[in-house]
Amino acid sequence: MPRALSPARLPAALIGVTMPLMPVPILVSGSIAIDRIMNFEGRYVDKISAAKLDVLSISIFLESLKDCDGGNGATIAYTLALLGEEPVLIGSVGKDGLLYMEKLAHLGVDISHVHESKLATASFNVITDSDQNQVGGFYPGAMADSDSLTFRPWKDANPIAVVSAHYPSAMRRLVAECKEFGIRLCYDIGQQVTNLPVEDMRAGLEAATVLLMNEYELSVFSEKIGLSVDEIKAKVPVLITTLGKNGSVIEGTAVPEAIKVGIAKPKQAGDPTGAGDTYRGGFLYGYARDWPLKACAQLGAVCASYAVETMESQAHTFTMEEVAKRYREAFNEELPIEVIEEETPIWQTTKLQISS
């Protein structure tokens, strides 16, 4: 059932503004990780010999290295909370991730369904070149301790559930729950597209209301499940393909004509790590409020533009006034909500509770 925003939970920037009822719950399952982000001034294409891929062995001199909070699910939830949403984060962390969870809780993310594992928090290590191409490695750690994760408590609440890159068995189970309970599924398998069994990906496609992938992930997904991109479009109501600097495109059985959405220009160049998840957070904010799909994607693009200005997955921040202004500048349209003049950072407080 829709929930009304209580004054205590309303973003300061929106107090006194007429707002619709809070949309249905947004459940975000996915990785919670500590990112190690590295960059070098050069191009992979100049470092790697295509003729010697079978004996690949290279070392790259790095210009920067930074450890920061990350993970697909956590970054989506972080962005939703910046927008004033109260997403439910579903995942696992080790004791080394408890301070991280406290930060998310103070922002407004519901972490009461995050499991505390005896294993170390997952870790993503990525090296980005000057063309924004990336090579990364992921250590699952606590992510593998995921047997308790479930959507079952919300089976009668008409939620929107996100299954983003996570431990394969957890992704499989959560997709099955969406199908069993009739939960709207946003299937966002990300870089797990290279690791998931084919039958799991086919089940995700069958259960999905929204399928989100970048261009490369979609090509791998298509090849692995044995369907062309056109055949995939014919099987899912909404297919969103992100295209990096070329924006995104929305297609699917619920979209009569492809909707192309451009980017919102960032003020400075940073690192793209987390930009895709930030786009998803913006999209989901509008989608949960039944905005037109184009407006959802445009908000996603605006949010992503803040992410690429930083060197971390969760260093971006903004006010709703800033978001509305950049949305207007990028798309010559008004953001589909009212905001007031005063620029107040969206920062909220909630009690820290982690399931064990």
Helix (H/G/I), strand (E/B), else coil: 80: helix
What separation in angstroms does the CA of 69 have from each of 127, 138, 220, 279? 16, 14, 28, 17
Answer yes or no: are the C-beta atoms of 215 and 242 closer than 8 Å: yes
pLDDT value at residue 238? 98
Answer yes or no: are the C-beta atoms of 37 and 55 closer than 8 Å: no
- Exposed/middle/buried for residue 340 (C-beta within 10 Å: 0-12, 13-18, 19+): middle
Answer yes or no: are the C-beta atoms of 72 and 165 closer than 8 Å: yes
Bridge partner residues of 27 (DSSP): 88, 161
pLDDT value at residue 50? 86
The angle that helices 275-287 and 293-307 make with each other, rounded to 10 degrees, is: 150
Helix (H/G/I), strand (E/B), else coil: 162: strand
Token pair of 349 as six digits: 């407080």
Token pair of 199 as six digits: 């039958």
Question: CA 217 to CA 23: how far, in whole Å?
Answer: 30
pLDDT value at residue 338? 54
| Chain centroid offset of residue 247 CA | 16
**What residue type is assigned to position 281 of the chain?**
G
Question: CA 40 to CA 28: how far, in whole Å?
Answer: 32
Cα-based torsion angle of the residue sequence 158, 294, 265, 70 in order, rounded to the nearest 10 degrees: 20
DSSP state of 313: T
Residue with tokens 């001034």: 41
Number of H-type helices and E-type strands within the chain: 10, 13
**Domains within the chain, CATH numbers bracketed:** 24-48+61-331 (3.40.1190.20)
Token pair of 224 as six digits: 């692995």
Question: CA 219 to CA 199: how far, in whole Å?
Answer: 17
pLDDT value at residue 227? 98
Answer yes or no: are the C-beta atoms of 184 and 157 closer than 8 Å: no
Taken in order 260, 265, 266, 272, is the CA torsion positive or negative?
Answer: positive
Mind giving me the DSSP string for 51-72?
GGGGG-------SEEEEEEE-H
From first to last of the 356 residues of the chain, give the pLDDT tens digit. 223 223 333 343 333 444 444 568 999 999 999 888 898 999 999 989 888 888 888 889 999 898 889 999 999 999 999 999 999 999 999 999 999 999 999 999 999 999 999 999 999 888 989 888 889 888 999 999 999 999 999 999 999 999 999 999 999 999 999 999 999 999 999 989 999 999 999 999 999 999 999 999 999 999 999 999 999 999 999 999 999 889 999 999 999 999 999 999 988 876 677 789 999 999 999 999 999 999 999 999 999 999 988 767 787 889 889 999 999 999 999 999 754 444 433 333 333 445 55
Bridge partner residues of 259 (DSSP): 250
Answer yes or no: are the C-beta atoms of 76 and 164 closer than 8 Å: yes
Q: Which of 72, 78, 46, 73 is nearest to 60 (CA)?
A: 46
pLDDT value at residue 333? 94
Neighbours of 33 (CB within 10 A): 31
Question: CA 26 to CA 162: how far, in whole Å?
Answer: 8
pLDDT value at residue 54? 87
